[in-house]
């Protein structure tokens, strides 16, 4: 007589019913709670990946702000860009 896959499943189910019967409701409750948490996390991940609404999002207009002119020793050009200090003599 050979044991096949469905024989092992029946043996495992019988062992659970006989020896772990008092703990089965708690295990089922824990499994259900874990599945709810997993589903909600997957739903949140899907929601984070999609844009909120494409019709309400308009392009943002901005302007470039120049650096304030300082009276320090560093050299700055008039257009607001920094010039690195000269290291050559």
pLDDT tens-digit readout, 70-84: 555 555 455 556 666
**What integer is the mean pLDDT of 45-57?**
68
Residues contacting residue 81 through CB under 8 Å, at least 6 positions apart:
67
pLDDT tens-digit readout, 1-10: 787 888 999 9
Query: Which long-range CB contacts under 8 A does 23-32 form with residues at least 24 apart?
Result: none
Q: What is the pLDDT of residue 42?
A: 93
């Amino acid at each position: 007589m050979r044991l096949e896959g469905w024989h092992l499943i029946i043996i495992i189910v019988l062992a659970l019913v006989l020896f772990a019967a008092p703990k089965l409701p708690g295990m089922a409750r824990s499994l259900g709670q874990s599945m709810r948490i997993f589903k909600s996390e997957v739903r949140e991940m899907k929601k984070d990946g999609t844009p909120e609404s494409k019709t309400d999002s308009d392009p943002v207009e901005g302007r470039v702000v120049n650096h304030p002119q300082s009276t320090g020793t560093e050299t700055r050009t008039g257009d607001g860009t920094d010039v690195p200090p000269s290291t050559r003599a």
